[in-house]
């Protein structure tokens, strides 16, 4: 055997041994299903994609003016959230659009202004920026600039967002802070199937235009027993998922599950009691629930996937500092994505994972 052949054989054996004895961690979080149901009655096991589909099915069934549209929506969309709806309700109510995000948003604004219920899908939140002018300068301002004579409140814009494990810089972004700055828009991020269905139905019924951001990694990794009947969850109201008295942990979307795991690790390893809050609604956000928690614990950690600078965590930190200053035992901590384009192979180092969050909790307690 030649020297080159020996080296290749040895290298191949090493790779085989590594693959045999290692476990691939395909996700940076463990999904924590909700145990409490929003309403009584029959439930069905659904993942988040199916729960969103169910909410739109209920809307199309009960509201004859409702229409659903977007790129590839006719056959279900790239994530299959609209699967089977065109066959059920026809091509005039569930249909494809050209690859033109500003056109999708503008069309939805026109429909909603004319009195229809418009559900627009942007294929990825990363591609919502061409529609930014339509959403921020038209949809958000319609009621104000007309003196209340007309509005486009029946518009809901859905968009898959966040890290997915392999999305890279164009399929992983979290743009919630951009839209939270625009008065007139409401911005919502669910954490799982139950909240996705209830919040989406609330957005569709809301009389202000809504941006509904769906953490795409949860579409199939999140499974819960979801009520089959129609129900809504309040926009602008956070949920306390775990009670504690030493540190308040705040997140939304996928990051909620990271913090739930971190809270348990902190309890087991350090004996630290953490309170976990899912903000759910970015704009408007639940200042009362957040500030009451921080006044109780005296410490606060905010975590989100979006970059640090001007991320929505900065707005939370500013308000908490103003309202809870005399109760704080340590500076407010933020654990976020970095101020850099979202990477591909280095995604695990970009995300605010459990270990970065745990270190932040340790620093807060030891301050």
> Which residues are known to be catalytic?
101, 171
Residue 264: C-alpha distances to residues 9, 140, 267, 366 (Å): 45, 40, 5, 18
Distance CA(142)–CA(75), nearest Å, equals: 32
Chain centroid to CA 340? 20
Q: Give the closest residue to 30 by CA, choosing from 263, 240, 272, 226.
A: 263
| Burial of residue 59, with CB atoms counted within 10 A of its CB: 0-12 exposed, 13-18 middle, 19 or more buried | buried
Distance CA(191)–CA(209), nearest Å, equals: 21
The tokens of 219 are what?
């579409």
Helix locations, the chain, DSSP H: 3-21, 48-62, 85-89, 101-113, 132-133, 142-145, 176-180, 193-205, 218-221, 255-270, 287-297, 312-324, 347-350, 354-366
| Three-state DSSP string of 220-275 | HHCEEEEECCCCCCCCCCCEEEECCCCEEEEECCCHHHHHHHHHHHHHHHHCCCEE
Q: Are 235 and 199 in contact (CB under 8 A)?
A: yes
- Who contacts 163 (Cβ-Cβ below 8 Å, separation ≥6)? 28, 172, 217, 254, 305, 342, 347, 350, 351
The number of helices, as runs of H, and strands, as runs of E, in the chain is 14, 14
Distance CA(14)–CA(6), nearest Å, equals: 12
Q: Are 302 and 324 in contact (CB under 8 A)?
A: no
Residue 127: C-alpha distances to residues 25, 169, 279 (Å): 28, 11, 24
């Amino acid at each position: 055997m030649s020297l080159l052949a020996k080296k290749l054989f040895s290298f191949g054996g090493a790779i085989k041994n590594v693959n045999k004895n290692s476990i691939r961690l395909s996700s940076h979080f463990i999904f924590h299903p909700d145990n409490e149901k929003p309403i009584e009655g029959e439930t069905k096991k659904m993942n988040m994609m199916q729960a969103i589909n169910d909410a739109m099915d209920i809307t199309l069934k009960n509201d004859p003016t409702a229409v659903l549209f977007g790129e590839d929506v006719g056959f279900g969309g790239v994530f299959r959230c609209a699967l089977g709806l065109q066959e059920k309700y026809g091509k005039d109510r569930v249909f494809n659009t050209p690859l033109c995000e500003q056109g999708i948003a503008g069309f939805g604004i026109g429909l909603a202004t004319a009195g229809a219920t418009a559900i627009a899908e942007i294929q990825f939140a990363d591609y919502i920026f061409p529609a930014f002018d339509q959403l921020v300068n038209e949809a958000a301002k319609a009621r104000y600039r007309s003196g209340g004579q007309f509005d486009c409140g029946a518009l809901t814009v859905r968009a898959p967002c966040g890290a997915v494990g392999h999305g890279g810089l164009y399929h992983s972004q979290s743009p919630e802070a951009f839209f939270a700055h625009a008065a007139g828009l409401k911005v919502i991020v669910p954490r799982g199937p139950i909240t996705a269905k209830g919040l989406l139905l609330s957005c569709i019924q809301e009389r202000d235009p809504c941006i509904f951001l769906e953490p795409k990694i949860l579409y199939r990794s999140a499974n819960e027993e979801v009520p089959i009947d129609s129900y809504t969850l309040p926009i602008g109201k956070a949920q306390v998922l775990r009670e504690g008295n030493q540190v308040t942990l705040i997140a939304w979307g996928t990051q909620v599950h990271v913090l739930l795991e971190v809270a348990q690790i902190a309890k087991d390893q350090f004996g630290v009691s953490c309170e976990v809050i899912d903000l759910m609604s970015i704009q408007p956000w639940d200042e009362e629930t957040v500030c009451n928690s921080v006044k109780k614990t005296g410490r606060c950690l905010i975590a989100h996937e979006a970059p640090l600078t001007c991320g929505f965590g900065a707005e939370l930190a500013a308000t908490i500092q103003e309202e809870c200053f005399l109760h704080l035992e340590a500076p407010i901590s933020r654990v976020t994505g970095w101020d850099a384009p979202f990477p591909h192979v280095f995604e695990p180092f970009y995300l605010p994972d459990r270990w970065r969050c745990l270190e932040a909790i340790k620093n807060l307690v030891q301050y």
